[in-house]
């Protein structure tokens, strides 16, 4: 039993190191897709997504997980949005977590007939976001466009306790997401007995 626990701990630690060392980077240049989707949680995400929209990287922008008290003009100001923000940015107020972000984005993508999107979120959050978005829309091309939140030492993450804790918490959520997608969400719903 002790050997199994030791192997599990070793696998977790090695997986965590691989997770932290292989966070996705930005693609070279400005990608071109049908849509840009960003998850709320930091001004740099909003600003990056709004800039991509203004640069013509996509036809429309979806900001998902917006707090219900925030108005579009307020969000535009936070995002430093330009003229295209007024006509071509949509806000989702329903999503409360990454899985719901993906579901709302998939519904929005289908409504517009879009087949490709740029996903903007924090670099440490990108692996889980890509997993959730792929599960919600497996036939859509996803282009990762991560942002690096301030206050963390990404170049030498192992030297900064704050960054290690942030990455460790996200790695745990990422593993849980993989398990749910693989073993729970993929199961067909139980059939009800008649009578």
Q: Going by C-beta distance under 8 Å and a sequence separation of 6 or more, which residues neighbour residue 181? A: 131, 132, 135
The tens digit of pLDDT for each residue in 76-123 reads 999 999 999 999 999 999 999 999 999 999 999 999 999 999 999 999
93: in domain: yes
What residue numbers bound the domain in which 91 lies?
A: 28-147+176-183
Residue 54's Cβ-side half-sphere holds a number of Cα atoms within 13 Å equal to 14
pLDDT of 195 > 60? The answer is no
69: in domain: yes
pLDDT in the model for residue 22 = 84
pLDDT of 134 > 70? The answer is yes
**In this structure, which long-range contacts are made by residues 68-73, counting pairs with CB atoms below 8 Å and at least 24 apart in sequence?**
68/93
13: in domain: no
> Who wins on pLDDT, 42 or 190?
42
Mean confidence (pLDDT) of the chain: 88
131: in domain: yes
> Who wins on pLDDT, 25 or 183?
25
pLDDT in the model for residue 119 = 97
Pick from 25, 20, 39: which is nearest to 144 by CA? 25
Single pTM value for the model:
0.84
Tokens of 37: 């989707």
78: in domain: yes
167: in domain: no
The tens digit of pLDDT for each residue in 8-50 reads 888 888 988 888 888 888 888 889 999 999 998 776 899 999 9
How many helices (H) and strands (E) would you count in the chain? 7, 5
pLDDT in the model for residue 43 = 63
CATH value at residue 129: 3.40.50.620
pLDDT in the model for residue 118 = 97
What average pLDDT does range 126-154 have in this prediction?
90
pLDDT in the model for residue 76 = 94
pLDDT in the model for residue 185 = 58
pLDDT of 186 > 60? The answer is no
**Domain count for the chain:** 1
> Who wins on pLDDT, 56 or 23?
56
81: in domain: yes
166: in domain: no
Dist. CA 154–CA 134, nearest whole Å: 26
Pick from 131, 135, 130, 132: which is nearest to 118 by CA? 130
């Amino acid at each position: 039993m002790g050997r199994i626990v030791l192997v599990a701990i070793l696998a977790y630690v090695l997986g965590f190191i691989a997770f932290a060392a292989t966070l996705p980077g930005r693609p070279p240049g400005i990608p071109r897709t049908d849509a840009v989707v960003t998850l709320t949680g930091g001004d740099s995400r909003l600003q990056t997504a709004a800039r991509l929209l203004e640069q013509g990287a996509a036809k429309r922008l979806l900001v998902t997980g917006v707090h219900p008290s925030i108005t579009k003009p307020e969000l535009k100001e936070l995002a430093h949005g330009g003229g295209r923000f007024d006509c071509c940015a949509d806000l989702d107020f329903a999503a409360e977590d990454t899985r719901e972000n993906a579901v709302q984005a998939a519904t929005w993508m289908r409504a517009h007939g879009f087949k490709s999107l740029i996903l903007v979120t924090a670099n440490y959050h990108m692996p889980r976001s890509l997993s959730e978005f792929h599960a919600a829309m497996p036939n859509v091309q996803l282009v990762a466009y991560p942002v690096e939140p301030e206050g963390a030492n990404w170049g030498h993450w192992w030297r900064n306790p704050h960054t290690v804790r942030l990455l460790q918490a996200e790695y745990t959520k990422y593993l849980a997401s993989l398990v749910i997608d693989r073993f729970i969400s993929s199961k067909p719903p139980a059939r009800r007995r008649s009578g």
